[in-house]
Amino acid sequence: MVEVPPDAVDDAAQVLRLALDGDSDAVANAFDAVVDRSGVVGAYDVAWCLAATMVGDSVPVGRWTLDFPDIEDAGYDTRWVARFVSAYANSDAPTGEALFGAALADGQLPECLLTLAGSAVATLRRRTQ
């Protein structure tokens, strides 16, 4: 997968801790702090780390199709997360970057990042059950 700076891994861990606590305002503030410090690229790196958390470590190399029933009926943020995680699973950084840029241009990036954090937390919780 794509290498990210060590501070992105630390920031993603902080976002996950905040999301696990259910504090969406703190999650949004954490992303804002990343953008203030590292720009939108920093937020992308954190998002990529969150996608990595959802997909896991032992993904065989190859093309993956993730099953998201009725995804086209879902809201923008949910569709975005599904596609972003799919891009990660397929080691397709250019698509991930394009999705990130589109959400930014559409004014949807903050909601998409919150949904991504929430989805990562839901995935972690499912794994521990």
User: How does pLDDT run across 119-128, given as a tens digit for each residue?
Assistant: 999 998 988 8
With a cut of 80, say whether residue 39 has pLDDT above it. yes
What's the rounded mean pLDDT across residues 32-49?
96
Residues 6 or more apart in contact with residue 81 via CB below 8 angstroms: 112, 115, 116, 119
Mean pLDDT of the chain: 90
Domain boundaries, the chain: 6-128
Q: Which of 45-49, 55-59, 125-129 has the lowest mean pLDDT?
A: 55-59
Distance CA 68, CA 20 (A): 23
pTM for the whole structure: 0.89
Predicted pLDDT at 79:
93
Tell me the helix, strand and coil percentages in the chain, rounded to 5.
75, 0, 25
Amino acid at 18: L
The pLDDT-based confidence of 72 (bands split at 50, 70, 90) is confident
Q: Which two tokens stand for residue 101?
A: 């840029």
What pLDDT digit, counting tens, does each position of 83-117 carry? Answer: 999 899 888 999 999 999 999 999 999 999 999 99
